[in-house]
Amino acid sequence: MLDRFYLVIDKAAWLDRLLPVGLKLVQIRTKTEDLDLRRHEVKASLDKCRAAGAVCVVNDYWELALEFGAGWLHLGQEDLPGADLKAIAKAGIKLGVSTTNREELETALAVDPHHVALGPMFPTVSKDKAAVADSLPKLREWKAIAKRPVVAIGGITLDMAPAVAKAGADSIAVISDVLSNADPEARLAAWLKARAGWEIGA
């Protein structure tokens, strides 16, 4: 089951600071070209999360997800054609797929993922009301069509979270609002405290 708060990190070292705060769902998204470092980041993230009873989602690198026995995997649209979807399904890995438009949503649903992600919700972290007006109806549409959990991602701040949840997001994925904060631990704690009060829409 998806936690209502979903953090995306680029380095396993973040977990030493943030897992003790109570983080339960995290994605390791490392873009390094160094293959040994990539393997280290993915394996270390999985090991740390297992030890803490948290879910670690591997981004992109489905081969490493299979090798290290990951339970969750996230693929972008560009990754789907080259991924061994049969092997992923056989391993019982829960798959999430990124989407930005209806065509990509149809592509994602064709592989029967566990959940889909919609983003970016907002172009920036600003509280621009026009951006909110454009993105929230789209989220409601995705929720109605997908018939499975929907993750909202992209430019979402803590202030925006209640509206995003009410529009249908089962989980809200965050990067900069926590990792770029002057006190990431405190900001994460605020997110985790707030999530219990979010009203999830249909």
Please tell me the distance from the alpha carbon of residue 62 to that of residue 85, in angstroms, as a whole number. 9
Q: What is the pLDDT of residue 127?
A: 45
Within its chain, how far is the Cα of 6 from the centroid? 5
Nearest partner of 29 among 149, 146, 119, 92, judged by Cα: 119
SS3 call for 74: strand
Range of the domain at 152: 5-195
For residue 158, what is the domain's CATH number?
Answer: 3.20.20.70
Tell me if 10 is assigned to some domain: yes
| Regions in the chain scoring below 70 on pLDDT | 124-133, 202
Does residue 202 belong to any structural domain of this protein? no
pLDDT at residue 125, as a whole number: 45
In the 8-state DSSP scheme, what is residue 57?
Answer: E
Structural domains in the chain (count): 1
In a domain, 78, yes or no: yes
**69 lies in some domain:** yes
Q: What is the pLDDT of residue 131?
A: 58
Residue 68 maps to a domain: yes
Q: Which residues, in sequence order, are bridge partners of residue 55?
A: 25
The one-letter amino acid code at 133 reads A
Asked whether residue 200 is assigned to any structural domain, the reply reads no
pLDDT at 18 (0 to 100): 98
- Please report whether residue 65 resides in a domain: yes
User: Is residue 201 domain-resident?
Assistant: no
Give the contacts of 110 (CB within 8 A, at least 6 positions apart): none
With 0-12 / 13-18 / 19 or more C-beta atoms within 10 angstroms meaning exposed / middle / buried, residue 159 is: exposed
